[in-house]
Amino acid sequence: MLLLLRLLRLHLLLGLVLGALSSHAQKCRLVPRQQVHLGSTNPQGPLSGGNNDTVASSTSVQPSQTSSSSASASATPSITPFNYGKDIIRGVNLGGWFVLEPWITPSIFENTNNSDIIDEYTFGQMLDEDYALDVLQNHWATWITEDDFVAIKAAGLNHVRMQIGYWSVPLTSADTNFTTSVAPYVPGAWPYLLRALGWARAHGVHVILDLHGAPGSQNGFDNSGRRGNANWAQGSSNVNRTLDVIRFLAEQIGGMIDVLEVLNEPAGYQSDIGGIIAGYWQDAYDVVRAAAGSSLKVMIGDAFLGVAHWDGFMTGSSAQGVLMDYHEYQVFNYNQLAFDDNDHIGSSCSVLSQLQSYASQNLFTISGEWSNAVTDCAKWLNGRGVGARWDGTWQPGQQVFGSCDGWSGNMSSFSDDYKMFLRKYWESQVAIGEAVQGWIFWTWKAENADDWSYQRGLEGGWIPQDPTDRMYPDICS
């Protein structure tokens, strides 16, 4: 297996080198900051950002051989700047790509044959370094390809939200006074991120770049890179190190993206860090403005506190171009799992007026994560080796709602009635987002959780090919 992975790695590297040789040299804005695991390939080509700034990246990479010729980005078109606050964001998250999540790609974790590997931190910690890199490079090259950007655009979507962990941002000692070591994380995703930004640009898809994992973990979830304790706010070093990451991103790729989300889901419910989060939001905003000017939008989040908690925050003249990210899931507590179909839709619609009220007086607001799921049945959704509340395998002795059969996994097991409900539920949550500045579905694809997959929803018919189509136009009326 290791030999095959290394051969595949060499094959991918050869493809990248050949792509580099055929590219046109450009005067580059970005100089390689450190050695990356794509050999010496530094193909150059113009990349214009969502803010309509044109830059050339000497560390960008060419589309891999996994993409079809019809999806070629050789002729990069101009992208129309997005009018935030006027135009509706309709988008999808590219979850599980540059930040691993066991429930999105369980095969990566199963193939380790080590049940103690539960997140990206332990993936790097417990595996041979070369083997881990081979696996990750194959994943980065194949999980999302240029064809996915073509399909996303064809589905009528105008945004992707792309996740990245701090360990994939190649800071050097010139960029930070803190350590540049990210061990045991395995770095190397940066060139693949740059290539993805080129694909987005080529196909007219705007980009929200989301710092999904911070030093110390901002929430203790596996989607932060490390499951366990949330230590990001314990002491100032992690917070300040994160600001250095934000500065680097704004300086180096601020012209290639539309929005920089400065941290995903910090654990605001911890009683001692609310003030730290508020201070970080303001400091990160200041860092972005100093590094990238005023055109790059900055996104903050409600930190699990609800948008009303942030009423009046960062609304003055000293904070322009700021957006609020709101996340809505109905699968992580027993009360919501007990909802019937109408309860789920009603609960979604009940948020609409709250978001409208906040957005009208405060920040442009986006429903940045939500899904079609109404159970926590997706394998390892609650963490590798952790069961589901729905069927009683999460904590034995608690309420059981039934079998997970037919609720998640492959859509071939979904009943027609369930698919019809998924359509209604999708429309109710779209109504929430479009009552404010827009929405971004979680997520584009998953190996075996079709209730969470926009791609599979399109195939299964419960998500329309045109996101403006409505079967239930008055669902929240």
Taking only the tens place, the pLDDT of each residue in 106-115 is 999 999 999 9
* Domain extents in the chain: 88-327
* pLDDT for the residue numbered 77: 59
Instruction: From 238, 253, 244, 98, select the one nearest 171 (Cα to Cα).
Output: 244
Residue 297: left if φ>0, alpha if ψ -120 to 50, beta else—which one?
beta
- Joined together, the tokens standing for residue 178 give 């803190």
Half-sphere exposure of 327 (CA within 13 A, CB side): 17
- Joined together, the tokens standing for residue 307 give 């948008």
Question: Which of the residue ranges 74-83, 209-218, 299-308 would you say has the lowest mean pLDDT?
Answer: 74-83
Of residues 265, 328, 427, 447, which has the active-site annotation? 265
Average pLDDT over residues 183-211: 99
Distance CA 157, CA 318 (A): 32
* pLDDT for the residue numbered 317: 87
* pLDDT for the residue numbered 271: 81
What band does 62 get if pLDDT is binned at 50, 70 and 90? very low
Distance CA 60, CA 58 (A): 6
Q: Annotated catalytic, 427?
A: no
CB atoms closer than 10 angstroms to residue 415: 9
CA 380 vs CA 15, 449, 472: distances in Å? 34, 10, 33
Beta bridge partners, 326, equal 367
Average pLDDT over residues 196-206: 98
What band does 57 get if pLDDT is binned at 50, 70 and 90? very low
Record the pTM. 0.87
* Residue count (the chain): 477
What band does 10 get if pLDDT is binned at 50, 70 and 90? very low
Contact 297, 260 (CB under 8 A): yes
pLDDT higher than 60, residue 63? no
Give the CA radius of gyration of the chain.
Answer: 21
* Cα 145–Cα 147–Cα 151 angle in degrees, nearest 5: 125
Give the residue with greater pLDDT, 207 vs 63. 207
Taking only the tens place, the pLDDT of each residue in 350-404 is 999 999 999 999 999 999 999 999 999 999 999 999 999 999 999 989 999 999 9
Beta bridge partners, 364, equal 323
Burial class (CB in 10 A: 0-12, 13-18, 19+), 378: buried
Burial class (CB in 10 A: 0-12, 13-18, 19+), 138: middle
Q: What percent of the chain has pLDDT over 90?
A: 81
Taking only the tens place, the pLDDT of each residue in 228-244 is 999 999 989 999 999 99
Instruction: From 148, 157, 264, select the one nearest 206 (Cα to Cα).
Output: 157
Taking only the tens place, the pLDDT of each residue in 110-166 is 999 999 999 999 999 999 999 999 999 999 999 999 999 999 999 999 999 999 999
* pLDDT for the residue numbered 110: 99
What band does 17 get if pLDDT is binned at 50, 70 and 90? very low
Q: Annotated catalytic, 129?
A: no
Q: What percent of the chain has pLDDT over 70?
A: 84
Average pLDDT taken over every residue of the chain: 88
CB atoms closer than 10 angstroms to residue 410: 10
3-state secondary structure of 309: helix
Taking only the tens place, the pLDDT of each residue in 169-182 is 999 999 999 999 99
CB atoms closer than 10 angstroms to residue 473: 10
* pLDDT for the residue numbered 30: 33
pLDDT higher than 60, residue 59? no
Half-sphere exposure of 280 (CA within 13 A, CB side): 34
Contact 360, 353 (CB under 8 A): no
- Which are the contacts of 148, defined by CB distance < 8 A and separation ≥ 6? 94, 444, 445, 455
Task: Give the CATH superfamily of 88-327.
Answer: Glycosidases (3.20.20.80)
- Which are the contacts of 134, defined by CB distance < 8 A and separation ≥ 6? 2, 5, 6, 8, 9
- Joined together, the tokens standing for residue 262 give 């400065």
pLDDT higher than 90, residue 49? no
Burial class (CB in 10 A: 0-12, 13-18, 19+), 176: middle
Of residues 120, 261, 369, 427, which has the active-site annotation? 369
pLDDT higher than 70, residue 292? yes
pLDDT higher than 70, residue 23? no
- Joined together, the tokens standing for residue 35 give 């050695």
* pLDDT for the residue numbered 272: 83
Question: Which of the residue ranges 204-213, 267-276, 295-304 would you say has the lowest mean pLDDT?
Answer: 267-276
Task: Note if the bond before 315 is cis, omega within 30 degrees.
Answer: no
